[in-house]
Structure 1
Amino acid sequence: MRIDVYTPLVLSLLLSAVSPAVGRRVAPALAARVLTAAAVVTACATVWSLSLLALTLAGDAPAALLAAPAGGRRLPVPVPVPAAVAVPAAVALAAVAHRLWRAVRAVRGTRRALRRLCAAHPGDTELIVAASPVPRAFAVPGSPGRILVTAALLGALGPQERRVLLAHERAHLTHRHALVVTAATLAAAADPLLFGVRPTVAFLVERWADERAAAAVGDRTAAARALARAALTTGPAPGPAGTLPLTDRAVTRRVAALRSAPPPPLRPVAAAVLALGVLPVLGAADATGDLLRLLSVAVLRVP
């Protein structure tokens, strides 16, 4: 347990470090899926490892029992980790709970706000145009999903650019991108060492929607032009919780990607990322077994 329990923490940093490279080289749909899956599994393993470390603080009860004389001698008490490690782990668990609560509240608050804007429209209406001078577009998940676009943005785009915009937002709904980004957001909230995964996944789902929009209109150059026009119209602004803030660098990368050939799937790289997500689970499971063995030894040695 002394080493295995720390494996998820180390592998979280490794996954965070490699995620931008994976996002650049692997097809966005596949990369977003595998990075999110690996992040969720790694975050769960990290939380479990912190729980194991914190649980060692409860080792005082077995220690008191084992200190009872047995044949005139005191039995040694196995100590999995020192209190200097267990106490910070308990504090980290409390911080994780707070971060998760804040992340869930932010995501739910944003979705409620967007749904309120759509509530006055018939349930079978997919496209909702808001009379707002602020150029914005959102894919509102739900049943059914809605596309909320302001009149200012639609007025700034040409007919083909509007097709690209709607295809992009429709791709977000069809492929449940909100769920993917939310999963990555909660994983990063539970495991702050995954700081590089969430922005990569959020960027990848935008790239994923770009590719689907380009396929829908059958013209990658037109899709790139529509993206650039929409970016110039909206300007850099933070998106709602669970989305990617629109920045010049992000838009430049997306436009450049649409002007080049689609990236290959590179399934071996994706498989390696998934394997990287499995390793923390193995480390946490081995640490759990070590702790259970120590506790069983303690119980058996009670006189």
Structure 2
Amino acid sequence: MRIDVYLPLLLSLLLASVSRPAARHLAPGQAARALTLAAVVTAGATTWTLALLALTLLGDAPQVVADAREDGRALPAPVPEAVAVLALAVLAGVVLRVLRAARTARTTHRTLRRLCEGHPPGTELVVAASPRPQAFAVPGRPGRIVVTSAMLAALRPDERRVLLAHERAHLSHRHALLVGAVTLAAAANPLLVPVRRAVAYLVERWADEQAATAVGDRDITARALARAALVAHRPGCALNFSDRAVTRRVAALQTAPPPRVPLLAAAILALGALPALGAADATGDLVQLVHGLLV
């Protein structure tokens, strides 16, 4: 348990380090799915290992110590007590961060759904009168696309087709679930924040590629993205733009679509599975330890 219990934390750093290269070299959909699944498994493993470390404090419980002394047995120390106390404090922080992230996501979703109230059930597009150019997909049943009048006015007809195809891709591929899952994973394990950023970028690239396929022209898609970025007054309001992200996305559309590389995707998934194996091995060690105390 001395080594295995720390393995998920070390592998979290490795997963974070490969997330950006994966975003550059893999097909967006493939990379987004693989990174999200790996991050969720890794976050679960690291959270469980923190719980295992905290559980070692039970060996210092007064009744356990008294029983051991009566039987003339020495209590093993799987980890230093200071490490176990620190793990307990970190675990409490994990719970608070995950609850806060879940509450924020729920509040945001409710706010967005309220914007769509009053429209017929079959309405996909909701146009909001606003001087701020914005466009975003609102997941749910049914999914909606909210676009402001300023954004529509800023784009040409063919560019509007790109915008709508982009947002439809978010809905049809359930990108909100991927982003939500990796956001909770990063809340549980802050070492995975680079993975969360990579997935957020990848779902936008994924939607870009879907839009380019739908309109049949990568140049028009790139032009629509660039124009939307120019009319946006703040980061993230139009098609989730930021200065660096929009440059990378436009450049990507001016080249051939990235290939699907199953072996690399499998390697990312394997990297996510290794923390789970380490946590399982540490759990077995703890079970044996507890069994030795009870026998």
**Paired residue secondary structure (1:196):** helix
Deviates more, 1:100-109 or 1:215-224: 100-109
Equivalent residue number for residue 39 of structure 1: 39
**TM-superposition CA deviations, 1:161-216 (whole Å, max 9, x none):** 00000000000000000000000000000111112100000000000000000000
SS of the equivalent of 1:116 reads helix
Determine if the alignment matches structure 1 residue 264 to structure 2 residue 259.
yes
Aligned to 1:23: 23
> Is this contact kept in 2: 1:52–1:288, CA < 8 A?
yes
Q: Structure 1 residues 28, 234: closer, same or farther in 2, change over 3 A?
A: same
Residues 1-303 of structure 1: matches in 2 within 5 Å?
Answer: 1-61=1-61, 62-68=64-70, 70=71, 74-238=72-236, 246-300=241-295
- 1:227-266, Cα deviation, whole Å (9 max, x unpaired): 1011111143245xxx995211100000000000011111
Distance 1:196 1:11, change over 3 A: same
Cα shift at 1:63: 2.8
CA distance in 1, matches of 2:90, 2:139: 32
Structure 1, 52-61 or 204-213: larger mean CA deviation: 52-61
Q: Distance in 1 between matches of 2:212 and 2:171?
A: 16
Quick check: 1:39–1:277 contact (8 Å CA) kept in 2?
Answer: yes
Alignment deviations for residues 4-45 of structure 1 (CA, whole Å, 9 cap, x no partner): 001110001110111001111000000000000000000000
Q: Do 1:203 and 1:244's aligned partners in 2 also have CA atoms closer than 8 Å?
A: no
- Paired residue type of 2:250: V
Contact 1:236 1:245 in 2 (8 A): no
Task: Name stretches of at least 5 consecutive residues in structure 1 with no aligned partner.
Answer: none
Q: TM-score, normalised by structure 2?
A: 0.97
- 2:132–2:233 contact (8 Å) kept in structure 1: no
What is the distance in 1 between the residues matched to 2:261 and 2:233? 34
State the shift of 1:147 in Å.
0.2
Q: Is the 8 A contact 1:236 1:248 kept in 2?
A: no
Q: Quickly say closer, same or farther: Cα 1:256–1:235, change in 2 above 3 A.
A: farther
Whichever residue aligns with residue 249 of structure 1, its letter is R
Q: Is the 8 A contact 1:41 1:281 kept in 2?
A: yes
Deviation string 1:126-183 (CA, Å, 9 cap, x unpaired) is 0000011110001000000000000000011001000000000000000000000000
Q: Secondary structure at the match of 1:114?
A: helix
What secondary structure, in the 3-state scheme, does the structure 2 residue paired with 1:149 have?
A: strand
For 1:141, give the aligned amino acid.
P
Report Cα offsets for 1:66-122 as digits up to 9, x if no partner.
Answer: 111x4xxx3211111111100010000110011111111111111111110101111
What is the Cα deviation at residue 58 of structure 1? 1.1
Amino acid corresponding to residue 93 of structure 1 in structure 2: L
> Cα–Cα, structure 1 residues 244 and 48, in superposed 2: closer, same or farther, change >3 Å?
farther
**Alignment RMSD:** 1.2
Question: Aligned partners of 1:114, 1:82: CA distance in 2, in Å?
Answer: 48
Partner secondary structure for residue 280 of structure 2: helix
Code of the residue aligned with 2:274 in structure 1: it is L
Distance of 2:60 and 2:96 partners within structure 1? 27
